[in-house]
Amino acid sequence: MQAIYFYEGAIGRYGIQETNGQLTRLWLGDRIAFAPSEPEIKETPLLIEAKAQLDAYFGKKLQKFSLPLAPQGTDFQLKVWELLQQIPYGQTTTYGEIATLAGAPQACRAVGRANGRNPLPIFIPCHRVIGSGNKLTGYTGGLDIKIKLLQTEGILLKF
């Protein structure tokens, strides 16, 4: 069973999608695109819980999500996304550091592409990855959302 439901929150409109009891997608802003035949638009207990945890995160009452995540990607993407989940709340790292941890120190751009294809932003915190020299780089939902996420976590960069 696939279900999606749309909410308004601190980052504007977003959609949370689940498949068979696991979160598979967080659609941000105007980047919502799926086949009209799937998923069914309905609120489920898991989607309600995911929204509640996002609300708690933005209310600075939650630092670590506890939800069943099921991102789909290549082996390298999955490895990068696993590493992203290890970045502590309120801290950042660089694409180069993630590439090194992934065992491919020259793969900074591949890490950037994996970040860009992250199907569960915020839950898998790709917003915590910045360019070398504290450079703010792109974000799936737009830089305004990335800035909001970083500021929520108390990360104040010079933009």
Question: pLDDT per residue over 75-85, tens digit each?
Answer: 999 999 999 99
Contact indicator for 66, 15 with CB cutoff of 8 Å: no
Q: Active site includes 108? A: no
Q: Where are the domains of the chain?
A: 2-58, 75-152
Q: Which of 103, 99, 93 is nearest to 114 (CA)?
A: 99
Beta strand pairing call for 22-28 and 40-41 = unpaired
Non-local CB neighbours of 113 within 8 Å, separated by 6+ positions: none
* Domain at 75-152: CATH code: 1.10.10.10
2 has pLDDT over 80 = yes
Q: How far apart are the first and last CA of the chain?
A: 42
Find the catalytic residue in 126, 129, 130, 150: 126
Query: Residues 9-28: pLDDT tens digits?
Result: 999 999 999 999 999 999 98
Mean pLDDT calculated for residue range 69-90: 97
pTM for this structure?
0.92
**119 falls in which pLDDT band (50, 70, 90)?**
very high
